[in-house]
Amino acid sequence: MKLINRLTFLVLAFATATACSADQAAEAVENEFYEYKSGSRDGIGKFYMGREISHVMGHLGAGWLERPERERQERTDLLIERLAIDPDDNVADIGAGTGYFTFPIAARVPEGQVYAVDIQPEMLTLLGERQKALSVANVKAVLGSETSPNLPANTIDLTFIVDAYHEFSYPREMGVALVESLRPGGKLVLIEYRSEDPSVPIKTLHKMSEEQVRLEMQAIGLDWVTTEDYLPQQHVLIFEKPASNEKAN
């Protein structure tokens, strides 16, 4: 009996030591990219490349995404119209929310597929209800994690992220995983409210400057293609995955 107790103790001690060192390793990796300090009310107190990450917009705010005046305020119609996509493209709508953009994009890729990725199952439920009502076949809802969109590697022609990137709690890990899922030469289109413009009526941490976005995308190995400012409130930044993706630092 004594021998069994001793063995049990040794097994538990080993398991605890292994768990601690795994935790420490995770923390060490995290601290390489992130700083933690007291932040603002709208932020999570975690900073990436000098930027404080904002809280995630909860699913109870879904109505705001679907507000009738959104098209006029943000010219979302123009954004969809000007997206350079082919009918057979595979598109990833990251942080898809209720699917406000997912379904108009799906209509533009009748021979392709739209992966609607979100970390909130409640958002994906709303999106699924809409998919059923509209009888759309080429949309696949994907539950992502904070660090990965859970998409297959080298399959996406266009990654589309509207008003979500600033909420990613692990932007570096998400960014690396997004690049992995893009095919070489594939594009990433990032839309964020312009922080350079104080007249844009959005909380500071929910806006981003062009300079900051370019810095963060460069860090994960994407090439900047262009920045278009034809929308009333948001930047449209376009990046490309290089043929050989060895540039992440």
Ligand X SMILES: C[S@@+](CC[C@H](N)C(=O)[O-])C[C@H]1O[C@@H](n2cnc3c(N)ncnc32)[C@H](O)[C@@H]1O
Binding site for ligand X (CB under 6 A): 56-57, 65, 94-97, 100-101, 117-120, 123, 144, 146, 162-164, 167-168, 174
CB of 66 to ligand X, least distance (A): 8
Nearer to ligand X, 44 or 218 (CB): 44
Distance CA 201, CA 115 (A): 30
Question: In the complex with ligand X, which residue's Cβ is closer, 48 or 101?
Answer: 101
Residue number, 174 or 222, with CB nearest to ligand X = 174
| Helix H or strand E encompassing 53 | strand 51-54
For the CB of residue 3, give the shortest distance to ligand X in the complex, in Å. 49
- Of 106, 110, 82, 88, the closest CA to residue 96 belongs to 106
Exposed, middle or buried by CB within 10 Å (0-12, 13-18, 19+), for 100?
A: buried
Q: Please say which residue, 94 or 217, places its beta carbon nearer to ligand X.
A: 94
φ, ψ of residue 7 in degrees (nearest 5): -65, -45
Q: How far is CA 2 from CA 9, 10, 11, 97, in A?
A: 11, 12, 14, 57
Instruction: Supply the minimum distance, in Å, between the C-beta of residue 62 and ligand X.
Output: 8
Q: Pick the closer one to ligand X by CB: 71 or 197.
A: 71
> Least distance in Å: CB of 95 to ligand X?
3
Name the residue nearer to ligand X (CB basis): 59 or 183.
59
Count other Cβ atoms within 10 Å, centred on residue 220.
23
Beta carbon of residue 65, minimum distance to ligand X (angstroms, whole number): 4
- Minimum CB separation of residue 113 from ligand X in Å reads 18
Round to whole Å and give the CA distance between 87 and 223: 24
Give the SS3 label for residue 145: coil
